[in-house]
Amino acid sequence: MEVTRTGIPGLLVFTPSPHPDPRGMFSRTFDAEVASGAGIDPHAFVQDSLSRSHRGVVRGLHVRVGDGENKLVRCSSGAVLDVVVDLRPGSPSYLRWETFDLTGDNQVSVYVPAGCAHGFQALSEPADTSYRIDRPHDPADDLTIAHDDPGLAIPWRLPVTLQSDADRDAPRLADVRDRLGEIRPWTGHQH
CATH assignment of 2-180? Answer: 2.60.120.10
Residue 39 has what pLDDT? 95
pLDDT digits 0-9 by tens, 28-52 = 999 999 999 999 999 999 999 999 9
**pTM (predicted TM-score):** 0.95
158: left (phi over 0), alpha (psi -120 to 50) or beta: beta
* Per-domain boundaries in the chain: 2-180
Residue 189 has what pLDDT? 63
Catalytic residue numbers, as ranges: 62, 131
Of the pLDDT bands very low, low, confident and very high (cuts 50, 70, 90), residue 180 is confident
pLDDT digits 0-9 by tens, 116-140 = 999 999 999 999 999 999 999 899 9
Q: Which of 49-58, 71-80, 121-130, 173-182 has the lowest mean pLDDT?
A: 173-182
**188 touches 82 (CB < 8 A):** no
Please state, in angstroms and as integers, the Cα–Cα distance from residue 51 to each residue in 40, 48, 78, 132, following that order. Answer: 24, 11, 12, 12
